[in-house]
Structure 1
Amino acid sequence: METNTNIAGCGGVMRDASGHWKAGYVHNIGICSPLQAESWALLKGLQLATTHAARKVIFESDSSEVVRRMNNSHVDATDSNIILACKHECRRFEEVKILLIAREKNAVADFLAKLAKQYAQGVHILTTPPVEVARLLEEDATGIPQWRFSVKTR
């Protein structure tokens, strides 16, 4: 695992209408902000869907800021170049929905983002899911969330 916590990674999975894995990716980004990492995740997901000739797509993100910016129909002066690239990529599809989901419901992408730091910098396409993802895919298909708990001490 990468010991430098400034290194960012993102990952995503493309599924069919039944929730089965079609393809995935991990992207070792390098150093960037959390918002940039979330934006890169969407951009790489859009590009992956384009390479698979998808026409109607639904993207789920646990970043309320990325979802807000993408669902804003006009270009905002504060939009980054990555968000602008995402908006441009969206034009390639017949229909695009970008939805906000809880981080606990985004376990596969969360795992892939952490896994990305083990790869060389850049994007790596995964034609089959990593072995560690199989359980998460099954839990996603059955709707079992991965809850995170924190303990508060005085």
Structure 2
Amino acid sequence: MGYREGLKLALSSGYTSVMVETDSEAVVKVFSQDPANSLLMDTLIVDCNFLIRQLQDFKLQHVLREDNQCADFLANQGQSSPWGTTILETPPVDLANLLDHDAKDVSFRRIR
């Protein structure tokens, strides 16, 4: 649902070129398939494919969670938020350090 809401927000904001980075290999796999040949015709997937077709340029790629700590932070915040879409006018205070690292292209080691 977050994927669909992000696409809707991008389109309603006037964006025509969108790059989505996700740590979910399953999402990348589902949306890398030809929708016409997919057995996965879930309404959510159909909605997302409809929104993607409205964009002039779209790219979806897998990234490790460590390479997108800002998104991981916000996803974890969303787990304890009320149901629905939340638009943040300013980033949460706890996110500032991660945004700074992201802007400086600081990399983090993956721990297994």
Q: With the length of structure 2 as denominator, give the TM-score of the two structures.
A: 0.87
Q: Which amino acid aligns with 1:64?
A: E
CA distance in 1, matches of 2:102, 2:2: 19
Residue 111 of structure 1: CA displacement?
Answer: 0.7
Q: Are 2:67 and 1:105 equivalent residues in the alignment?
A: yes
Higher strand share: 1
| Runs of 5+ unmatched residues, structure 1 | 1-39
As a proportion of its length, which structure holds more helix?
2
Q: CA deviation at 1:69?
A: 1.3
Aligned CA-pair RMSD: 1.6
Residue identity matched to 2:58:
V
How far did 1:66 drift? 0.6
Percent identity between the aligned chains? 32
Query: Could you tell me which residue of structure 1 aligns to residue 18 of structure 2?
Result: 57
Q: What per-residue deviation string (whole Å, max 9, x for no partner) do you get for residues 78-133 of structure 1? A: 24322221111101211101111111112111111111133211111112111111
1:127 counterpart = 2:101: no
2:7 corresponds in structure 1 to 46
Give the AA of the match of 2:60: I
Q: How many residues align?
A: 111
Corresponding residue number in structure 1 for 2:102: 140
- Output the amino acid matched with 1:85: D
Q: Tell me which residue corresponds to 1:30.
A: none
Do the aligned partners of 2:4 and 2:48 also contact (CA within 8 Å) in 1? yes
Corresponding residue number in structure 2 for 1:118: 80
Residue number in structure 1 paired with 2:35: 74
Shift of 1:147: 3.4
| Native 8 Å contact 1:69 1:79 kept in 2 | no
Structure 2 residue runs of 5 or longer lacking an equivalent are: none
Relative to structure 1, is the Cα distance of residues 124 and 74 closer, same or farther in structure 2, using a 3 angstrom cutoff?
Answer: same
- Could you tell me the TM-score, scaled by structure 1's length? 0.66
Instruction: Tell me if structure 1 keeps the 8 A contact 2:35–2:49.
Output: no
The range that moved more, 108-117 or 76-85, is 76-85
| Partner Cα distance (2:67, 2:12) in 1 | 25
Say which is worse superposed, 107-116 or 67-76, in terms of deviation. Answer: 67-76
Q: Find the residue that maps to 1:126 and give its secondary structure.
A: coil
Q: Is contact 1:107–1:146 with CA below 8 Å preserved after alignment?
A: no
